[in-house]
Amino acid sequence: MKSSHVLALLGGAVIGATLALLFAPAKGGETREKIKETVDKGVDGIKKEYHKRFPKNQEEGLEA
């Protein structure tokens, strides 16, 4: 699987989880906190995948 497909899959998962939380019946503050946690996990997953796929950038100090 191409790295762009993996990143697209992870991004789609984050968006889907966020939308699911938006439509879940909860108080605004609770929903915002859940969204923040979900986005943070998604960003961490994307960063890990990026570093796994492009280790050369990491070695040269060209981290995104």
Q: Are 49 and 10 in contact (CB under 8 A)?
A: yes
64 belongs to a structural domain: no
Residue 9 structural domain: 3-59
Q: Give the number of domains in the chain.
A: 1
49 belongs to a structural domain: yes
Nearest Cα neighbor of 3 from 11, 42, 58, 64 is 11
Q: What is the pTM of this model?
A: 0.49
Sequence letter at residue 42:
G
Q: How far is it, in rounded angstroms, from Cα 14 to Cα 25?
A: 19
**How many percent of the chain have pLDDT more than 70?**
86
Tell me: pLDDT of 38 over 80: yes
What DSSP string runs through 12-24? HHHHHHHHHHHTS
Q: How far is it, in rounded angstroms, from Cα 13 to Cα 24?
A: 17
What pLDDT is recorded for position 23? 81
